[in-house]
Amino acid sequence: MTEPEQSVYEMVGGDATFKKLVDAFYRRVEADEVLRPMFPESLEEGKYWQYLFLAQFFGGPAQYIAERGHPRLRMRHQPFVIDQEGRNHWFTHMCEAIDEVGIQEPARSIMRDYFERGSTFMINAESGSTNLMQWQNRSKDQSS
């Protein structure tokens, strides 16, 4: 009888590692002039959902789906203009976060492969397209 294969979630050490990964990623997003305007003022809710999603996707508890339902990633990201440049920034930050956290092989390659394909799948605009969510920033600026 063979041993069951370990999930990525188990390989990397579970919840604590995914929380560190999300924190490392969002520190980079916060300082990124291309990505930061796409996110709300507070990053905490996005961090929470990303942590739950990634933990579940890579073999952890199904808490994301219990709290939020099906991920529907394309639908949830559709309001944001995601072009090749934005995708590249996102992917670079995630890869740097993986390295910062110290995720080892084979989990490192599995995760990088998923993030490469997933971030490319999120592209929904040609480079230079207008950010459809800019109205939120303008209305905040006008109310000040």
pTM of the entire predicted model: 0.81
pLDDT at residue 138 is higher than 50 = no
Quote the Cα angle for 24-26-30, to 5°: 125
Residue 47 lies in a domain: yes
Digit-coded pLDDT (tens) for 6-59 = 999 999 999 999 999 999 999 999 999 988 988 889 999 999 999 999 999 999
- In CATH, what number is assigned to the domain containing residue 82? 1.10.490.10
Rounded-to-integer distance, Cα 126 and Cα 130, Å = 10
Range of the domain at 38: 13-129
Q: How many domains does the chain have?
A: 1
Residue 74 lies in a domain: yes
Residue 39 lies in a domain: yes
